[in-house]
Amino acid sequence: MDDLVEFVFFDLSLAERFEKFCESRGVTVTLIAGETYSGEPEFTISMPEALDEALTQEIGDEYDEVLFGDQAAMIEGNDENGAVADACGVQVQLHSGQFTTVAIHPEIMNKILSVLSVSELQTFLSQVAEDIENPKKGSVCARKDLPTI
């Protein structure tokens, strides 16, 4: 069985919109309805993990737009200070090609997103994952392959 990557939504219309977006790109997805631990509706879109890099990036960008834009605006309790949520995270692709979601407390996420874009945060976490998966010796200033922006 192929590994799957999952995208979680808390609104059916947004999940269905994301599902249509993926299918319009030729990606077969599965939409599963469930509940969070607190009994709130939850909708998971699953798709094969083995997609080409450009398509993976396009799908990830669309998910970020829906999650941090439309869905955040719909969460009850949102105010001028940002979204109120129990949990949030950022998906990162590891060197192996496998995806993992880094859980981040919502208050910390709001602080991070006040100075970084979602794309910048993902790039940062990908670099952290890279350096953990492939440890480097010596000082940072001696490296020849420093990250760029």
Which residue bears the tokens 């999650």? 67
B/e letters for 64-82, b = 16+ CB within 10 Å, e = fewer, are bebbbeebbeeeeeeeeeb
What length is written for the chain?
A: 149
Rg (CA), the chain: 17
Query: Pick the residue with more confidence: 11 or 29?
Result: 29
> Which of the listed ranges 19-23, 58-62, 73-77, 97-101 does the model predict with the highest average pLDDT?
19-23
61 in a structural domain: yes
User: Residue 106 domain-assigned?
Assistant: yes
Kindly tell me if the per-residue pLDDT of 21 is higher than 90. yes
Is 149 a member of any domain?
A: no
Q: Could you give the number of structural domains in the chain?
A: 1
With 60 as the cut, is the pLDDT of residue 82 above it? no
Residue 14 domain flag: yes
Residue 148 within a domain: no
Q: Is residue 147 part of a domain?
A: no
Angle at 98 between CA 12 and CA 132, to 5 degrees: 120
Boundaries of domain holding 138: 4-142
What's the rounded Cα separation, in Å, for the pair 127 and 51? 21
pLDDT at 126 over 60: yes
| Cα 38 to Cα 41: distance, rounded to the nearest angstrom | 9
Q: What is the mean pLDDT of residues 2-29?
A: 87
